Chain A
C-alpha cells in the first residue's frame, strides 16, 4: 500500500535525530519553551512516538483541549441519555464517545440502544430501518467533522427522513485557542495548530489570535517529524521575538482552506452564543447549531430537553492542565480515582487527553 510508504518517510529515525539536534542547538539555555499542541491527534503522535523524550528538558509540550470527546461536558451526555430514556431514541455516536461519563456518572455505552458509527452516513440507514423509532446522532468534533454532519443533514432532508435528528456539539478551534490565551494565568509560549482542522479552515482564522496575544502559531502535520519540525519553527520565532502564523503542513493546508466545505457548513449551521466545554467552562461563540431552516433535524428544538448541570469533581485540575499551568501528575485525582478505566476529568476521558496520555505512556 503506497499510502504507508508515505507515512514511513515521516517517521524516519535519522531525520528525527537530525531535527532533535537542530532543536537542541536552537534553544537558549535557561529559557523555558512551553508549546501547546492544540489537537489530540498531535498529543497522540507525541506520546506514541516518544517525541517529548527526544527534546531538551526546557522544551515542554502542553497537551491542549483539541480532543472533542474530552471537552464534551457532562450535561450534553446526560441530555443524550435523557433522549434515549424518555423518547426511546436510538443513539448513534463514534466509538470513543461511549465511555465518557455524564454529570450523572453514567455513560452513553450504558444506554439500551447505542450504535457505534464509523461514518455519519450509517445514521441514514439506521433511521430508514427503524421508521417507528427516533434516531439521534450525537454530532461531535471540531471543524473537521462538521462538514460530514452538514452533508448528513442535507441528505436526511432530501430523503424525507422524519425520525432523524442531530444533537449538535460541533465546536470551533479558534474560539478555544482564544479562551486559553485570554486567561491571565495562561503559561503558553507558542501553539502548534491542528492538521485536519486547518485543512478545512485554512491559515487565515489564526491571524487575529496571533495579533491579539503575540503568541506564535505553527500549523503542523500529524506525523512525528511534522511535529518536530513545527516545534523547531516555533522555537525560532520565540528566539527572534516574532509572533506569526506559520504553516509547516503546506502539503495539505493553504491560506483559505476548503471553501466548499466552509460554504456547506455555513449553509447548515450558525454560531451559538455560548457553549460549555468540559474543563474550560462556558466560551462565547465557540460552537455551532443547526440553522432555523433545519430545525426539524435539531434534537434540541425537536425534544424538550431539561437543562442538565455539568458538575466537575472539585479537586480536578483539568482547567489548569488545559492552560499549561499544571502537569497531570500534579492533580490529586490523577491515578487516585481518575484513571482511563474510570475517568473523572476531561483530560482522562479519551486516549488523546493529556492525563490519559501521561498515564498510558509515562510523563
Chain B
C-alpha cells in the first residue's frame, strides 16, 4: 500500500488507517484525537478572525518549502494580517489516485512542523481522493481561526495620507524560487522561497506600539507581489501611494534571476513577507521592532501614503524618475527578448 487508492477517500477501513497512521500521528493534539468530525474549543471573549486559503502548486516541493508548510503559512498569515493571534486550523486534502503515500507523509510531516513552529493546532480535517489524472498529486485547503486583541483595528481600508509604508524583508524570493524549480532553470546563486509564518512577527510589532491602533494596515504580498498588495490597499483606502524602488530590499541573486527572466520583482509572489502601513510617528519604532525579529531583520521603510492620485501607486525608479506601479496582468510571463 504505497500509493493513494480510491479506497482512501471512501470512508471505510483504508481511510481510517490513513487518518490514524498519518494525519493523527503527525498533527497529534487532543482536539483532533477526539475523533469527531468537528473540533470544539473554548475561546476568550472578544472578536475572532477566520480565513481560508486553497493551495495548489507545481512543483509540490521547492527550495525553501513545500505545499505542506505553505498551506499552514498561507492561512496563518492571512489570519495574522488582521493582527489576530491564530489558534486553530482545519485542513482538507484532495489526493490524486496513485500519488505516493511516502511523498504524502513528507508533506504532512512538513505541515505538522510548520504548525508547531507557528504555535497553531490542526484540529479537524477531511480527505477526498480523485481519479488518476484529475488532480496534481495533492491540493490542500486550510481554514484558520484566531483571536483579536483589544484596540487592534487593522484593515486595508485604513491607510491615510502621511502614513509610512514598511516591508519586512527582501522581495520576490518565493515566486522566483518556485519558477526556477518548476522549469528546471539553473540560474545560479541561492534561490529559496521565503515561506514562513508571520504571526510571531506581527505579535512583536503590535507589542512595540504604545497604541496598536497606530498600525493601520497589514498585508502579505503573495500573488501579484508588492505591486498588487499596494494597489489593492490604495484602492480600498481611496488614497495614493509613493514607493521608492531603491529602498525596497531585493537580494542580488533574486534581482539577477528577475533580470534574466524579464520579471518585475515588485510583481513576484512572496510567502513570508508583510507590508505594514502605520502613522508616521510610529514608523521608526515599528521598524526597530521588526528588525529585532528574525523574519524582519532586513525590514525597511519603502514609501508613504499620499492624498493625491487615489487608488494609484507611483514608483520612484532608481534613476529618480516616477512611473505608475501597476499590478501584473495575469500570470507574470517571462519576456521573449
Nearest Cβ on chain A to B4's Cβ, whole angstroms? 25
A173-201 toward B: CB 8 Å interface, digit per residue (1/0)?
A: 00000000000000000000000100000
A362 with B336: in contact, given A1-B256, A4-B252, A341-B330 (CB under 8 Å)? no
Given known A-B contacts A1-B256, A50-B321, A50-B322, A118 and B183 have beta carbons under 8 A apart: yes
Alpha-carbon distance between A44 and B252 when the two chains are bound, in angstroms = 21
The CA of A69 and the CA of B335, in the complex, are separated in Å by 9
A118-B334 contact given A1-B188, A3-B256, A4-B252, CB 8 Å threshold: yes
Given A7-B259, A50-B317, A341-B330, decide whether A118 and B185 contact each other with a Cβ distance below 8 A.
yes
Chain A residues with Cβ below 8 Å from B264 are 48
Indicate which residue in B255, B320, B334 contacts A4 across the interface (CB closer than 8 Å).
B255
Binds B, one of A9-17, A29-37, A154-162, A276-284: A9-17
Contact partner of B321 (CB less than 8 A), chosen from A54, A95, A118, A196, is A54
Knowing A1-B188, A1-B256, say if A362 contacts B319 (CB, 8 Å). Answer: no
Instruction: Determine the distance from Cα of A7 to Cα of B252 in the docked complex, in whole angstroms.
Output: 11
Q: Does A351 contact B (CB under 8 A)?
A: yes
What are the residues of chain B within 8 A of A359 when measuring CB–CB?
326
Question: Quick check: is B189 within 8 A (CB to CB) of the other chain?
Answer: yes
Segment 1-28 of A: residues with Cβ below 8 Å from B? 1, 3-4, 7, 11, 13, 16-17
**Is A322's beta carbon under 8 Å from chain B?**
no
Measured between C-beta atoms, what is the minimum distance from A249 to chain B in Å? Answer: 15
The tally of residues in B whose CB lies under 8 Å from a CB in A reads 28
B189's partner among A1, A13, A52, A340 (CB-CB below 8 A) is A1
Contact across chains for A352 and B323 when beta carbons are under 8 A apart: no
A3-B256, A48-B264 given as contacts; is B337 within 8 A of A68 (CB)?
A: yes
Interface residues of A in 35-93 (CB under 8 A from B): 39-41, 44, 47-54, 67-69
Find chain A residues with CB under 8 A from B183 CB.
118
- By beta carbon, the residue of chain B nearest A52 is B321
A224 to B245, CA, bound (A): 15
What's the count of A-B pairs with C-beta under 8 Å? 97
A68 lies within 8 A of B336 (CB): yes
A98 to chain B, nearest CB (A): 7
Minimum CB–CB distance from A35 to chain B (whole Å) comes to: 17
Complexed CA–CA distance, A47 and B317 (Å): 10
Q: List 21 A-B contacts (CB under 8 A).
A: A4-B252, A4-B255, A4-B256, A39-B337, A47-B323, A48-B264, A51-B319, A53-B323, A54-B321, A69-B336, A95-B335, A96-B334, A96-B336, A99-B330, A118-B185, A141-B337, A341-B330, A350-B336, A360-B326, A361-B326, A362-B323
- B residues whose Cβ falls under 8 Å from a Cβ of A: 183, 185, 188-189, 246, 252-253, 255-256, 259, 262, 264, 317-324, 326, 329-330, 333-337
